[in-house]
Amino acid sequence: MDSYSQVIYDAVEAAKKSVVKIERLVSLNNKKTVKGSGSGFFFSSDGYLFTNSHVVHDAPELRVVLYDGSRHVAALAGEDPDTDLAILKIHDAVDFQAAQLGDIRDVKIGQLVIAIGNPLGFQHTVTAGVISALGRTLHSQSGKTIDNIIQTDAALNPGNSGGPLIDYRGYVIGVNTATIAGAQGLCFAISINTAKDIAEELIRYGKVKRAYLGLILQQIELVPRLREIHQLKNKTALFISGVEENSPAARAGILEGDIIISFNDQAILTSDELFRMLKKDRIGSFQYLGIIRNNRKIELRVTPAERRA
């Protein structure tokens, strides 16, 4: 086996037993029938697993098919449509392994990634590609924006949703979530760092309460000249490619084309860092955004609002 194939094989071997098929069950003529399916993966030894909210939302009953083919009833522990994430819990499964979770801060554009899932019902399908971009913003099915999205050209199809995007070690770096209809090589995954933060809230409270600004963001690299002029430690920052109407950001005077470099005097390198700072205790209180606009550094005061379901 060549070295490239060996890397993919080893990564899949490390992660495959954590990946499951999720089936939505409905009752027809007093018989349970599968109507729709997706993917998911275990992330804890006590039976919690990640999937997408759109895979499980409003499902009358959920069943999970493990790697060994065994089937188990799953309970919804909580979901967050705004990030398209959901947590399921299985009580009676024994023969599975929890996936190793990585860190998006260690991920680089161009590195090898692998997706495992159940596209169109074909269980445990493997595809490979590279990280095409980091820090993307994507609209969820609830209409809200999801920050710190990973873009990859690893092929995803209906049924891949909720499965893991793994690195060369088999560590999960993202939760596969979407493709662009009619496009090729434009596939997206939710950052595992975002997923970990959401999981903590869902397991504890069953829902997520958060502040929001109303920005469409893209992570960019700051050119050395700009860093030198403004004496910035940031190597990356957040380019604002859109501002929602009547949002806290719009009311604060934030404009499309601005670059966010700090939040309350803390350097911001990724949208995931900004996301983590927008906790529920920030709602309704003044916060300060450091901005570069037309090569000038300014500070704007913004009051985050509660993101409504």
Catalytic residues, by residue number, are: 54, 84, 161
**15 and 172 in contact (C-beta within 8 Å)?**
yes
Stated as kind and residue range, the H or E segment containing 194 is helix 192-205
**216 and 163 in contact (C-beta within 8 Å)?**
no
Residue with tokens 């869902």: 202
CB neighbours of 276 closer than 8 A, spacing ≥ 6? 193, 197
CB neighbours of 74 closer than 8 A, spacing ≥ 6? 22, 49, 62, 63, 64, 88, 89, 90
CA 24 vs. chain centroid, Å, equals 22
| Three-class secondary structure of residue 256 per DSSP | coil
CA 125 vs. chain centroid, Å, equals 20
